[in-house]
Amino acid sequence: MLDRRCRSRRSLPPLCPASREMSQKSERRGIHVDQSELLCKKGCGYYGNAAWQGLCSKCWREEYQRARQKQIQEDWVLAEKLQREEEAAYASSQGVQQPQPSLAPFSKFEEKKTNEKTRKVTTVKKFFSPSSRTAPKKAPSERVEKVSGVRERHGETLLRDLRGMFAQPWEMVAPTEESHEGKTPSPSISRQSSIETDRVSRDFVDFLKNLQKPGREIHKQCRAFIESMANKKDLGADEQSECVQDFYQNMSDRLMTHFKGSSERVERVMDQVEKYIMTRLYKNVFCPETTDDEKKDLATQNRIRALHWVTIQMLCVPVDEEIPEVSDNVVKAITDVIEMDSKRVPRDKLACITRCSKHIFNAIKITKKEPASADDFLPTLIYIVLKANPPRLQSNIQYITRFCNPSRLMTGEDGYYFTNLCCAVAFIEKLDAQSLNLSPEDFERYMSGQASPRRQEPQAWPQAGPSSSPGLSQVYQSLDLLAGLGARQERVLEGARTLESDLISWQESVEREVQEILEKYPLEIRRPASAIDSDNVENDRLPPPLQPQVFAG
């Protein structure tokens, strides 16, 4: 193909040394092209080609090879750098601040790099396959031996390592792209990560340190998972939940085999994994925009606000807040359930609910002097939720349901209290007159704010105003009633008076009218023009009147 192209070009000298004969031929024909322009730019004496940037085939091949080699080299360097950074971040958190010497032979970097890439896109399950475990090997223990003494001298590396750690939450927000270039995030971005996130990361790494090799593996997989989740931001909440639950499942299965079935140890590690992962994912998966969690939050909040009038008696709550110890527990329970919103890890949120529940049990126990059963507990929890109106209640419940370790949620004590909280919320949503033993009319009046049941027992709601005194409000009501009655009586009297005057004037006007009419048309009694019997002139002309006749028959 090469040669053919040369020939077609007005029989110019061939460009490659390989076809020397032809080049000589064309020289002889003496075509007017400056020879120097056609020669290889390398100055090797052969002709070059524009397609090869003015080089001859041999020089081009060399040049091309070199450039490619250089690029490969650069790729390797980049891969190495990335690898080192990750190692360093891990090492620093393990208490060793040495920049990591390359652990594997150079040839392995390509493989590592591709590993790194695939890791970002493949599913979690992949990470559990043994191949991804080959890279780190016995690195951590080696490192510890080598460099444990040089900690202080490496302030700079420490700084970088810390930056590496701080970069994690940011990576979560804007994934992979920049980390490929090995840049550290800008300070303004890294500042976004809260102190809590960093503390959790450090705790997590500290915890994993004790686990040696599996610890390293767990750390890697968690990070990979967080990165993969960052790419799934657009997924619905249910899919995200599924991803996290899958990850929990796979991780605990793996740990189960590793710890040879010791479920306590597995659970301990899983707690840490949950803490680490959910602290990082929190921002993206709590009350996501893809759901209507926020709307539900507002609805519940307004609902609870509208139910401010519900009393202890209506709910049959066996708690007497007159006793200082009881009201103390009630206040603590309220604080705990409100505090739930400030936690990030599902387990911590659950712990708040559990603490709240324990305070409720205490309050009931002190009041009733016997342990509380569910029949006592649930109403009290409802009452506490109504009084606390915890922020973002629905979001929190949804978040826990989606992202908590299911074994804890389904069976354990935490799960029991959480279920009760769900029941309480469901009850509050559906609450009607019947569920408070009220008549529908009363319920409506309380809901619309026209009346308040508080006057029956002002103690239950100490924040209620002075109107809550029953006697006083009754006096006010009576006064209002009296004032109303007086006004109505006045109106009746006035009406009567106007009616009277109306009647009088009406009578007068009628009389006047009658008088006027009488005057206008005076009564004249004229004699009739002719009487029937007198002056009847032509009487004689009339036939005689008919006489009754008697017929004999």
Partner 1 sequence: MSSHRVDAKVVMLGKESVGKTSLVERFVHHRFLVGPYQNTIGAAFVAKPVQVGDKVVTLGIWDTAGSERYEAMSRIYYRGAKAAIVCYDLTDSSSFLRVRFWVKELQNCEEHCKIYLCGTKNDLVEADRSVRQVDYHDVQDFADEIKAQLFETSSKTGANVDKLFQKVAVDFNSTAFQVLTEEKGVDLGQKKDAYFYSCCHH
Tell me whether residue 226 or residue 364 sits nearer to partner 1 (CB atom): 364
Looking at the Cβ atoms of 208 and 404, the one nearer to partner 1 is: 404
Residue 544: C-alpha distances to residues 343, 547, 548 (Å)? 135, 8, 12
Q: Give the span between the Cα atoms of 24 and 524, in whole angstroms.
A: 163
Q: How far apart are CB 40 and partner 1 at their closest, in Å?
A: 48
The string of DSSP codes covering 277-324 is: HHHHHHHHHSS-TTSSHHHHHHHHHHHHHHTTT--HHHHT----TTSH
Number of Cα atoms under 13 Å in the Cβ half of residue 184: 15
Q: Provide the angle, in degrees to the nearest 10, between the axes of the packed helices 237-258 and 263-285.
A: 160
- 3-state SS class at 55: strand
Nearer to partner 1, 59 or 350 (CB): 350
Taking the least distance from each CB to partner 1, the nearer of 369 and 520 is 369
**Least distance CB 369 / partner 1 (angstroms):** 4
* Shortest Å distance, C-beta 125 to partner 1: 12
In whole angstroms, how far apart are CA 42 and each of 24, 45, 104?
20, 8, 39
By beta-carbon proximity to partner 1, the closer residue of 71 and 134 is: 134
Please, which residues bridge with residue 318 across strands? none
Q: Which is nearer to partner 1, 426 or 482 (CB)?
A: 426
Residue 76 vs 416, nearer CB to partner 1: 416
Q: Which is nearer to partner 1, 147 or 381 (CB)?
A: 381
When the beta carbons of 196 and 253 are compared against partner 1, the nearer one is 253
CB of 240 to partner 1, least distance (A): 21
Output the smallest distance, CB 270 to partner 1, in A: 11
DSSP three-state, residue 525: coil
- The distance of closest approach from Cβ of residue 357 to partner 1 in the complex, given in angstroms and rounded to an integer, is 8
For every residue of 158-169, DSSP letters joined together read HHHHHHHHHHHH
Q: State how far Cα 287 lies from the chain centre.
A: 1
Instruction: Give, rounded to a whole angstrom, the gap between the first and last alpha carbons of the chain.
Output: 165
In our burial notation (b when 16+ CB lie closer than 10 A, e otherwise), range 185-196 reads beeebbeebeee
Residues at the contact surface with partner 1, assessed by CB under 8 A: 130-131, 133-134, 137, 253, 256-258, 263-264, 267, 316, 347, 351, 354, 358, 361-362, 364-365, 369-375, 377-379, 408, 410-417, 419-420, 422-423, 426-427, 430, 434-435
How far from 416 is each of 148, 354, 383, 413, 552, CA to CA, in Å?
A: 47, 9, 18, 5, 129
Rg (CA), the chain: 50
Cα(57)–Cα(63) distance, rounded to whole angstroms?
Answer: 10
Beta carbon nearer to partner 1, 129 or 547:
129
